[in-house]
Amino acid sequence: MCGNEVTTSRSRFRCVMPFEAEPVRVRALRRFVREQLAQWGMPALAGVVQLAVTELATNVIKHVGTGAVATLVMEPCEGTLRVELHDQSQVMPEPVDPECGAECGRGLHLLAGLSAGWGAIATVAGKVVWCEFALGADGQCFRIQRATAALDGYRLAAGDGWRPNVSRLSVLEDSATQLIVDLLHWLTARGGDPDALLEKAQMHFEAEAA
């Protein structure tokens, strides 16, 4: 990260944010986490993941050094959200000792309590400290991801570019409406019943939401 700029690399289901490990950068990291999880349809995880990322970044500041180059990576996998913090030090974190005092490995104690699992891996350039968070068993997050990917693809196929002064959400809502209309035309052309399909979809949605 250079100056006040945040440089990121994002795909639909993976994002990478390089940064300099400084206390003033932690707020930008937290904002990045919140915005990315909202985009992926996982806003409920924002608080706990922000806290974990804060602890990971703070550990880099304390144990690698202020200004050290680091990279945050987040990627949802089936059933979990994986968060990684890459740095250029090969000094591995000490295992969490339950008998250790509050000042000993506080960040790792907290990380272990927040996440479904965590660990550290040595790399050629340094190390990666990772943690994982369980996603809802109902798979709702992945439904949202699939829907977003489908709508992005549909928008491109329809030749509908992003319009000035129109939010991404509004564009995707328009695409969703048009996609539903096209699907109903497709079903009708094959002798299907649009009303029955809509009723069936509504029933599945209400059952999952409940």
Q: What are phi and psi of 74, to 5 degrees?
A: -130, 135
Examine the fold and report which residue of 134, 165, 185 is the final residue of a domain before the chain moves on.
134
State whether 34 and 66 are in the same domain.
Answer: yes
Examine the fold and report which residue of 92, 112, 134 is the final residue of a domain before the chain moves on.
134
Give start and end residues of each alpha helix (H) in 64-167: 106-114, 140-157
State whether 22 and 99 are in the same domain.
Answer: yes
pLDDT score recorded for residue 121 = 94
Is 90 a member of any domain? Answer: yes
State whether 117 and 171 are in the same domain.
Answer: no
pLDDT score recorded for residue 156 = 77
CA distance 113 to 183: 46
Return the C-alpha torsion angle 167, 172, 174, 176, nearest 10.
Answer: -160
Q: How far is CA 168 from CA 1, 30, 36, 40, 128, in A?
A: 26, 22, 14, 13, 33
Is 3 a member of any domain? Answer: no
pLDDT score recorded for residue 168 = 61
60-81 CB burial, b ≥16 within 10 A, e <16: bbeebeeebbbbbbbebeeebb
State whether 188 and 84 are in the same domain.
Answer: no
pLDDT tens digits along 12-33:
578 999 999 999 999 999 999 9
Query: For the chain, first and last CA: distance in Å?
Result: 43
Residue 103, domain CATH: 3.30.565.10
**Which residues form the domain of 151?**
140-209
Is 163 a member of any domain? Answer: yes
Examine the fold and report which residue of 119, 134, 149 is the final residue of a domain before the chain moves on.
134
State whether 59 and 44 are in the same domain.
Answer: yes
For 10, the 3-state DSSP assignment is strand
State whether 117 and 204 are in the same domain.
Answer: no
Provide the number of structural domains found in the chain: 2
State whether 99 and 145 are in the same domain.
Answer: no
Q: Which residues of the chain have pLDDT under 50?
A: 1-8, 10-11, 98, 101-104, 138-139
In the block, tokens 């907290």 appear at 110
